[in-house]
Amino acid sequence: MKRVVNGVGKLKRGKWRYVILVLCATTAMALAAQTPTYALTFKSLHGFDYTDGYDPEAALVQATNGKVYGTTAGGGANGSGTIFTITANGTLTTVYSFCAKSGCADGQYPLAGLVQATNGNLYGTTVGGGANGYGTVFEITANGTLTTVYSFCAKSGCTDGEVPHAGLIQATNGNLYGTTQGGGTDGIGTVFEITANGAEKTLHSFDGTDGADPDAGLVQATNGYLYGTAGLGGANDGGTVFKITPNGTLTTLYNFCSESECADGSIPGAGLVQATNGYLYGTTYEGGVGANRAGTVFKITPNGTLTTVYTFDYTDGGFPVAGLIQAANGKLYGTTEYGGANDDGTIFNITPSGTLTTLYSFCSESDCADGEVPQAALVQVTHGTLHALYGTTTQGGANGDGTVFGVFGP
């Protein structure tokens, strides 16, 4: 059973979790080959033991120094989460343990991953702690020196936002952009801009009609706009896709659950990725067509024409929390939180046109030593000539506190 510490593990999507009774497939799905040059091997790299972190919910990032960095939402020296690095052979080093300062002024509970800025430092967010207790933006050097860049709820009524669940991106203008799930004028989330030295500007406050509770980060498309999702709100309260200019003009591009029984999907809790064909791809946690409607993969043009690419039926995975990445072979890769052969989540790839292959079903090893319940997107990393997809699971592993895994290929 997953340990919950100070509410960690319930923070991210507690309001969207449901008890789901679905028949699972009885035959384990083998690790499938993608192409003759992409034969994959699954490997558990590390099982967290709480002292080195607990509940890794975020994607990893490979920095320019070659190291792979990640975060855990809890655990570590102070029980409030960590930043770590991990090598290709699974050697993990804790770089920072949050709540190291009085009152957790340095932040606590980092649910999101990191981004490396052009100055070489890594930036991220925490949902708690900081000067006001409502989360932070932080900067950390490659060797572990952390600086709190901004503490949310610094303005009356938290109009500057609170509880940022998502990570940051650095736009072409050099500034960092992100979302907060709460706060803003109406208390249901914001889009913000922040400079590397901590000057914060609220670009947009959601009002429900244009979305609510944005849980995911942004992506800058080739046209210069920033694109994102709001998990709830919109015309049908099924969430939205939006675009916003770097100076704050927001346009709602799509309202989910516009089709009967939400055949187009609902609750887009993850961010978007722009593929080489120009479309933006994403996932919805629920909805789609068929009997189980366990979430979708969709594509949307930069101007807002949406197509449902795939509906999960639970045997092939269900309820994708994470977004997608496009690997060097042109395919999109992702994870589902549940479903698959063992009802503990999957790794999959999907072609841009919608042909899906389940690559791995978690909890295929005794006591789920390989991990279970992945909530994060994957990242493609390079170690010399070795290419791999790295990811995390929030549960499972040798101690039940989550894992880092690799899917390796030539």
Residue 84: what pLDDT? 98
3 or 83, which is more confident? 83
With beta carbons less than 8 A apart as the criterion, state whether 265 and 240 touch: no
- Check pLDDT > 90 for residue 244: yes
Residue 360: what pLDDT? 95
DSSP assignment letter at 297: E
Which among 297, 343, 241, 245 is positioned nearest to 20, based on CA atoms? 343
With beta carbons less than 8 A apart as the criterion, state whether 180 and 190 touch: yes
* Residue range 159-212, pLDDT digits in tens: 999 999 999 999 999 999 999 999 999 999 999 999 988 999 999 999 999 999
- Check pLDDT > 50 for residue 68: yes
C-alpha–C-alpha distance, residues 362 and 392, integer Å = 11
Rg of the chain over Cα atoms, rounded to whole angstroms, equals 19
- Check pLDDT > 50 for residue 268: yes
Residue 408: what pLDDT? 83
Q: Beta strand pairing status for 403-409 and 41-47?
A: antiparallel
- Check pLDDT > 90 for residue 31: no
- Check pLDDT > 70 for residue 306: yes
Which among 215, 61, 78, 79 is positioned nearest to 70, based on CA atoms? 61
Residue 291: what pLDDT? 84
Confidence of residue 29 (pLDDT cuts 50, 70, 90): very low
- Check pLDDT > 80 for residue 320: yes
Q: How many CB atoms lie within 10 A of CB 250?
A: 19
Instruction: Please state the rounded mean pLDDT for residues 286-308.
Output: 96
- Check pLDDT > 70 for residue 34: no
Mean pLDDT of the chain: 90
In DSSP terms, which residues pair with 396 in a beta bridge? Answer: 401
Percent with pLDDT over 70 in the chain:
89
With beta carbons less than 8 A apart as the criterion, state whether 310 and 296 touch: yes
Confidence of residue 406 (pLDDT cuts 50, 70, 90): very high
- Check pLDDT > 60 for residue 225: yes
Mean pLDDT check: name the lowest of 227-236, 297-306, 354-363, 385-394.
Answer: 385-394
Residue 385: what pLDDT? 63
C-alpha–C-alpha distance, residues 229 and 126, integer Å = 19
C-alpha–C-alpha distance, residues 93 and 84, integer Å = 5
Residue 25: what pLDDT? 31
Residue 16: what pLDDT? 34
What does the block give as tokens for 211? 């979305």
Non-local CB neighbours of 317 within 8 Å, separated by 6+ positions: 294, 335, 336, 338, 339, 340, 345, 346, 348, 358
Confidence of residue 409 (pLDDT cuts 50, 70, 90): low
Residue 20: what pLDDT? 32
DSSP assignment letter at 43: E
The helix (H) or strand (E) run that includes residue 406 is strand 403-409
Percent with pLDDT over 90 in the chain:
85
Q: Specify whether the backbone of 285 is left (phi greater than 0), alpha (psi in -120 to 50) or beta.
A: alpha
Beta strands in 51-167 (DSSP E): 61-62, 68-72, 82-86, 92-97, 115-116, 122-126, 136-140, 146-151
